[in-house]
Amino acid sequence: MKISSTYFLILFLCVFSCKIVSQNDSIWNSDPKINISCFVDAFYAFDFNNPSTSYRQTFLYNHNRHNEINLNLGYFKVSTEHEKYRLNFALHAGTYVNDNYASEPNLLKNIFEANAGISLNKKNNLWLDVGIFNSHIGFESATSIDNKTLTRSLLAENSPYYLSGAKITYSTTNKLELAVLICNGWQHIQKVSGNSLPSFGTQLLFEPSKKTTLNWSTFIGTDDPDSTRRIRYFNNLYGQFQLTKKMHLTLGFDIGIQQNQKHSTQYNHWLSPVLIFQIEANKKWALATRAEYYDDKNEIIIHTGLNNEFKTYGASLNIDYTPVKAVKCRVEGRYFFNNDSIFIQNNKTTNNNWFIVASIAIKLEKQL
């Protein structure tokens, strides 16, 4: 059996990690802290284009139902805190799962996280994590309560939320963190059938102060079987800035290229900028607005099936009410515009889409 050098590297790191454990002392035998958490995001959305089915848009993967009350995401998670090792395991359900994990095997669809990590040095600033984990790409996660807006930006919806593989993380200081990943592809737990190549990623996270976060993440790999392999190169950049005590600004930009066919020197591209501005009136009330654009004219990522260019502008307005820390009630109005008619309206298509979403999200955490 032929073993690639990348998988040999993972095997070597796992053996090296086990050797570290066997050599060491009472720190490894100390009891870890165990944390449990649960999260529920229930929502109602109304699409003013009145689609004929409850499923609204093929390029949205959260809160993507029309005129029905539903569960976007609910999960139960167990995790550990220890100087030398860590573990995360979570199961989830909801429309987010149905829309994002449709290509995964049934036995894996309901796994939100399942990863184990081990420290590789005495300073505990070099870690190896293996399993299913949250993607290193982007500033928005699947847990809506942690995001500045209720719905996700177009760039977040159309880049990986999760990855499966191995990750090495190194913190040079409390301000700089570096990560290198090998994974099973662009948001895949199980590799695409017929694909023999692993994919790779990197992350550079820099926090020069408590008010500023800068990030650069990359992905290199393929989402095709070997017979039609097209290599994809992707960059995600963002900055988060606490302008004042009550004002926060996020700037993000995604850009990617992909071969238009196997062995080709010709590439198609896609890109997406976004701006999110949030102002907090007080501890309970906040307002956020978003402006964004997504250009994927060759439909590399977003496939409308209408043979039209996906070059879409978007804007949204979000109102948050947080009665207590664990609870967030939100209402958001959102608008899309495209030069071509790509949005379904009754039994025809139109070039714009307007919808409103309301949500109640609760996140509880407890240390045992």
Distance CA 111, CA 107 (A): 8
CATH topology of domain 36-367: Porin (2.40.160)
Q: Please, are residues 129 and 91 in contact by the beta-carbon 8 Å criterion?
A: no
Q: Please, are residues 111 and 189 in contact by the beta-carbon 8 Å criterion?
A: yes
Give the N- to C-terminal CA distance of the chain in Å, as an integer: 45
- How high is the pLDDT of residue 2? 42
For the record, the structure tokens of 52 come out as 């004929």
> Is the dihedral angle over the CA atoms 49, 55, 61, 67 positive or is it negative?
positive
Distance CA 355, CA 60 (A): 13
- How high is the pLDDT of residue 1? 38
Specify the pTM: 0.91
| Domain edges within the chain | 36-367
- How high is the pLDDT of residue 305? 72
- How high is the pLDDT of residue 15? 53
**Closest Cα partner for 287 from 325, 247, 251, 326?**
247
- How high is the pLDDT of residue 11? 54
Block mean pLDDT (10 aa), the chain, length 368: 48 53 64 95 96 89 96 98 95 97 93 96 94 97 97 98 97 93 96 95 97 98 96 98 98 98 96 98 97 95 82 97 97 96 85 97 96
Alpha helices (runs of H) in the chain, residue ranges in sequence order: 5-23, 26-29, 95-100, 154-157
Distance CA 4, CA 194 (A): 16
Question: Per-residue pLDDT tens for 263-314?
Answer: 999 999 999 999 999 999 999 999 999 999 999 999 999 988 776 789 999 9
- How high is the pLDDT of residue 13? 53
